[in-house]
Chains A and B, each alone.
Chain A
Amino acid sequence: MRNLVRAFFVIFAVAVSARAEEPATVEVRLKLGDDPRYARADWDDHDWEIIPPNGFPERAGPYWVRFHLRRPAQPAKRVEDFTTGWALAPRPRYNYYNYEWPSDEPGAPIDAVVLNPIFSFEFYWDGRLLERGGVVGRDRASEIPGPVDHMFRVPPELMGPGDHAVAIRLSSHHYNFPWKPVLAFRLDNYDSRALSEARRPFLPLVGAGGSLLLGAACLAMARFVERRRPLVWCGTLGIVLSMFYALVAFRWLYNAPYSWHRPRLELTIGCLVIVAGILPWVLAEHFDLPWRRRWFLLLVPLLAMGFFGFMSHENRAFWLTRVMLLAAGAIAVWAIRRKKSGGWAVLIGAVLGLLVVGNDGRALGNSTLFVVVSGLVIFVLATMGGQMRAEQRRAREAAVAAARLEIELLKKNIQPHFLMNTLTTIMEVIEQEPKTAVALIDALAGEFRILARVSGEKLIPLEQEIDLCRAHLRIMGMRRGVECSLEAREVDMTSPIPPALFHTLVEGGLTHQIPRAGRLKFVLEGAYRPGHARYGLTVHGDNPPANGAIREGTGLRYVKARLEESFAGRWKLVAGPVRDGWQTVIEINQPPGESGSS
């Protein structure tokens, strides 16, 4: 893993350093001022100022630039465009300022000029006007900015061997880059170049459409299915990435004025900054990375550096993409070490992305980002689907458990041991002492009435619970011939309690505790502070012999299940013998403001 990280940094260093400027092979000469004669092929320009091809005066003009091209007997080998690769196989890079005359390809002779000026111009070849971009002017008002991308044929009679003079009349009053204008110029075959130019918006459009669909689908799911953070993030990611690609494609679809070039690029890079920020954040949230806000603050200067730290938008795009993929890779490495599922998938995606990005030199035009982001979105959606399934299962189980508890509560009171023994006692007292029988039946009816009322509830007021306990104690007292009572001390009669909670504990006390002097006394004590309730139920009687351990019977299981249902993880139950009986203490923590009363 350490080697992998080291490899990342090596690749990084190479990628950043691969963009040094290269010297021009043709002397470009500048003349401030305007004279139509400057266009002539034979105009003597030897006293004009020599400037670098990326050193044109900005926000100036009209002025003239001239250079001479020589068609060699043995032309140089043509170097392909878009070859800024670094990763898989370093390839020679086309130099936009190397105004050489390339060789003819079979069936594709050199017959055209490709020009990407960020100014308005008139282009003269051997004195003949071949192309015009916008209208050259003396100031911002009189200049009309023309488009950035130009390609035009040079008449064959002007393409003979020997010297050819190129003269450009230009003005750059609408120029808005922070550096001097450059002239990207090259000779090419018109047909093959037209084809490759036509192909250029293809991948960005695929990226734009695909990302838009992906983002819209995520947002629609978040809106209409379930509002979940990962969905909203993925939706935003998709929409922003779609804007990024749309802005990239825009150049090839509309002949916008050159003054739009910079704002478009800034917007494009801005979108990329957002994408490069959101993607690692989605992953950090997905893997539940601790301190992720602080880690994100670490990412912010790197993203800022991507936006402000480079001249060329290509380098900015490369930097941002790589920062994003490195951050994703780092999170994935952490996830793998924590044995989180999906860590390897993300790491593989990040490494593949790092290997591919910039490999064909088209920083903005390729679809690496789209593939990486779609992969991530699919990954997040798949994981979320799994989570949703698990949540549904838990919800179903909780519903089943609640139903089971309700049934258990009802069963407690129609359970034969209670009901049949009570009925047997009633039969006996009917025959022997009818008045007692009436009281017993009344008590039984009383208990059943309360039960019928509370059985469907998850929580009931303590008052009802105490009524239920007392009804039960009346019956059991008569059955056992023992004086049974429940005393409530300092309890809040309105505080919510799962139904039959103390009733169950009272039943347990009746079963296991031996009455003392014909009495069995239960005492329920309450103690409250904000967000916390404590109940102690003590049964005063004699502990039967060998009764040290807590009895985990069905009764205690019911009590715990009920507490867990209503106060998941926020309750405590301790039971044990005390000096004159048995005590059960229940503590419930309730977050402030949460009223469990039903």
Chain B
Amino acid sequence: MRVLIVEDEPLIARRLERFTREILGARLESLHLASAFEEAGARIAETPIDLLLLDLNLSGRDGMELLGAAVAQSFHTIIVSANLDQALKAFEYGVIDFVPKPFTQERLALALARLTERDGRSAGAAKFLAVRKHGKVQLVPVDRVLYAQGAGAYAELVLDDGTRELHDKTLEKLHALLPPSFERIHKSFVVRMSALKALHAHEGSQYEAELRNGLRLPIGRTRYKELREKLQG
């Protein structure tokens, strides 16, 4: 895992680094420190990362813009901040966790586990998905998303009016941020459960989900049974 720590206080940065190294151990591929997110921009463009540990004062416009810029990227973001009252806002923007200061190694390990474990989910639920469009960050309300389709390193968001937005995160990372009302029905599809109208089983273990707007999406063989139970339950 490639990690970038953005923290302007050297002692706290040192603490974050120490804990990250101890928790991730051999799984850590690289770790870099920066004192401000703006500074780290160039580095991220050159050498992609998987996780950003960000100390961000979210009060004010600048903080929210920076947060939007961070969560629109391909990597996951964990906010490490003293301002616990901003946690809800951060989750709405789609961070994987919010670690309040002062923090222990155990708390940081819990946050990192959300990335390292299979099917790890965010500690909150995103209300917006930040997408980069023409070099700017736009916030797409999660309520408008019908489903997301994986496209390699990206994910395509399909909205209720049929428009499509490209997100820099993989489908897996995106799913980790979405609320529990979204279900993975296929290795390439995450669908809002309330958008489902019916499930269809065809010959040769071919399954399809019919959405309320008539669209049909494939269902993974291994996921059909679980999905049907959830719908009936």
Cα distance, A426 to B85, chains bound together (Å): 22
Q: Is the CB of A428 within 8 A of B11?
A: yes
Q: Which of B54-102 contact A (CB under 8 A)?
A: 57, 82-85, 100-102
Shortest distance in angstroms between B107's beta carbon and chain A's nearest beta carbon?
Answer: 11
Q: Is the CB of A420 within 8 A of B101?
A: yes
B12 within 8 A of A: yes
B10 within 8 A of A: yes
A2 within 8 A of B: no
Specify which chain B residues have a CB less than 8 angstroms from the CB of A479 in the assembled complex: 9, 11-12
Specify which chain A residues have a CB less than 8 angstroms from the CB of B15 in the assembled complex: 424, 427-428
Q: Mark A230-268, 1 if CB is under 8 A from B, else 0.
A: 000000000000000000000000000000000000000
A87 within 8 A of B: no
Nearest neighbor of B86 in chain A, beta-carbon distance: A416
Cα distance, A421 to B8, chains bound together (Å): 11
Q: Is the CB of A421 within 8 A of B100?
A: no
Specify which chain B residues have a CB less than 8 angstroms from the CB of A418 in the assembled complex: 82
B32 within 8 A of A: no
Q: Is the CB of A428 within 8 A of B101?
A: no
Which of A421, A429, A432 is within 8 Å of B101, CB to CB?
Answer: A421
A46 within 8 A of B: no
Cα distance, A587 to B122, chains bound together (Å): 52
Given that A428-B11, A480-B9 are contacting pairs, would A423 and B83 also be in contact in the complex, using a CB cutoff of 8 Å? no
Specify which chain A residues have a CB less than 8 angstroms from the CB of B57 in the assembled complex: 417
Q: Mark A467-503, 1 if CB is under 8 A from B, else 0.
A: 0000000000011110000000000000000000000
Nearest neighbor of B14 in chain A, beta-carbon distance: A428
Q: Is the CB of B11 within 8 A of A425?
A: yes
Specify which chain A residues have a CB less than 8 angstroms from the CB of B10 in the assembled complex: 480-481
Given that A417-B57, A479-B9 are contacting pairs, would A424 and B82 also be in contact in the complex, using a CB cutoff of 8 Å? yes
Shortest distance in angstroms between A475's beta carbon and chain B's nearest beta carbon?
Answer: 11
A419 within 8 A of B: yes
Specify which chain B residues have a CB less than 8 angstroms from the CB of A478 in the assembled complex: 11
Q: Is the CB of A417 within 8 A of B82?
A: yes
Interface of A is mostly: helix
Q: Which of A396-450 contact B (CB under 8 A)?
A: 416-421, 423-429, 432
Q: Is the CB of A424 within 8 A of B83?
A: no
Specify which chain B residues have a CB less than 8 angstroms from the CB of A421 in the assembled complex: 9, 12, 82, 101
Q: Is the CB of A423 within 8 A of B101?
A: yes
Q: Is the CB of B100 within 8 A of A420?
A: yes
Given that A421-B101, A423-B102 are contacting pairs, would A416 and B83 also be in contact in the complex, using a CB cutoff of 8 Å? yes
Cα distance, A427 to B14, chains bound together (Å): 12
Specify which chain A residues have a CB less than 8 angstroms from the CB of B11 in the assembled complex: 424-425, 428-429, 478-479, 481
Cα distance, A479 to B102, chains bound together (Å): 13
Cα distance, A479 to B100, chains bound together (Å): 18
Nearest neighbor of B104 in chain A, beta-carbon distance: A427
Q: Is the CB of A419 within 8 A of B12?
A: no
Shortest distance in angstroms between A275's beta carbon and chain B's nearest beta carbon?
Answer: 65
Specify which chain A residues have a CB less than 8 angstroms from the CB of B104 in the assembled complex: 427
Nearest neighbor of B105 in chain A, beta-carbon distance: A431
Cα distance, A429 to B10, chains bound together (Å): 11
Cα distance, A478 to B11, chains bound together (Å): 9
Nearest neighbor of B85 in chain A, beta-carbon distance: A416
Which of B12, B82, B84 is within 8 Å of A428, CB to CB?
Answer: B12
Cα distance, A421 to B12, chains bound together (Å): 8
Shortest distance in angstroms between A123's beta carbon and chain B's nearest beta carbon?
Answer: 102
Specify which chain B residues have a CB less than 8 angstroms from the CB of A420 in the assembled complex: 82-83, 100-102
Given that A424-B101, A424-B103 are contacting pairs, would A416 and B12 also be in contact in the complex, using a CB cutoff of 8 Å? no
Shortest distance in angstroms between A530's beta carbon and chain B's nearest beta carbon?
Answer: 42
Q: Is the CB of A427 within 8 A of B83?
A: no
Shortest distance in angstroms between A252's beta carbon and chain B's nearest beta carbon?
Answer: 82
Specify which chain B residues have a CB less than 8 angstroms from the CB of A429 in the assembled complex: 11
Cα distance, A331 to B223, chains bound together (Å): 92
Cα distance, A217 to B21, chains bound together (Å): 84
Cα distance, A429 to B14, chains bound together (Å): 10
Which of B8, B85, B102 is within 8 Å of A424, CB to CB?
Answer: B102
Shortest distance in angstroms between A412's beta carbon and chain B's nearest beta carbon?
Answer: 14
Cα distance, A85 to B14, chains bound together (Å): 102
Cα distance, A429 to B9, chains bound together (Å): 13
Which of B8, B9, B82 is within 8 Å of A416, CB to CB?
Answer: B82
Specify which chain A residues have a CB less than 8 angstroms from the CB of B85 in the assembled complex: 416
Shortest distance in angstroms between B174's beta carbon and chain A's nearest beta carbon?
Answer: 30
Shortest distance in angstroms between B66's beta carbon and chain A's nearest beta carbon?
Answer: 15
Shortest distance in angstroms between A239's beta carbon and chain B's nearest beta carbon?
Answer: 64
Q: Is the CB of B83 within 8 A of A417?
A: yes
Specify which chain A residues have a CB less than 8 angstroms from the CB of B83 in the assembled complex: 416-417, 420
Cα distance, A118 to B108, chains bound together (Å): 113
Nearest neighbor of B57 in chain A, beta-carbon distance: A417
Specify which chain B residues have a CB less than 8 angstroms from the CB of A480 in the assembled complex: 8-10
Q: Is the CB of A424 within 8 A of B84?
A: no
Specify which chain B residues have a CB less than 8 angstroms from the CB of A416 in the assembled complex: 82-85, 101
Specify which chain A residues have a CB less than 8 angstroms from the CB of B12 in the assembled complex: 421, 424-425, 428, 479
Cα distance, A288 to B103, chains bound together (Å): 65
Specify which chain A residues have a CB less than 8 angstroms from the CB of B82 in the assembled complex: 416-421, 424
Q: Is the CB of B9 within 8 A of A425?
A: yes
Interface centre among B8, B83, B102 (most CB of A within 10 A): B102
Cα distance, A421 to B7, chains bound together (Å): 11
Cα distance, A478 to B9, chains bound together (Å): 9
Cα distance, A478 to B15, chains bound together (Å): 15
Cα distance, A479 to B7, chains bound together (Å): 12
Q: Mark B37-68, 1 if CB is under 8 A from A, else 0.
A: 00000000000000000000100000000000
Binding site for A on B (CB under 8 A): 8-12, 14-15, 57, 82-85, 100-104
Q: List 15 A-B contacts (CB under 8 A).
A: A416-B83, A416-B101, A417-B83, A418-B82, A420-B83, A420-B101, A420-B102, A424-B9, A424-B15, A424-B101, A424-B102, A424-B103, A432-B14, A479-B11, A480-B9
11 more CB-based (< 8 A) A-B contacts, given A417-B83, A481-B10: A416-B82, A417-B57, A420-B82, A421-B9, A421-B82, A424-B82, A426-B102, A427-B102, A428-B12, A480-B9, A481-B9
List 9 A-B pairs, minimum CB-CB distance, nearest first.
A420-B82, A424-B102, A428-B15, A420-B101, A416-B82, A423-B102, A481-B10, A424-B101, A425-B11
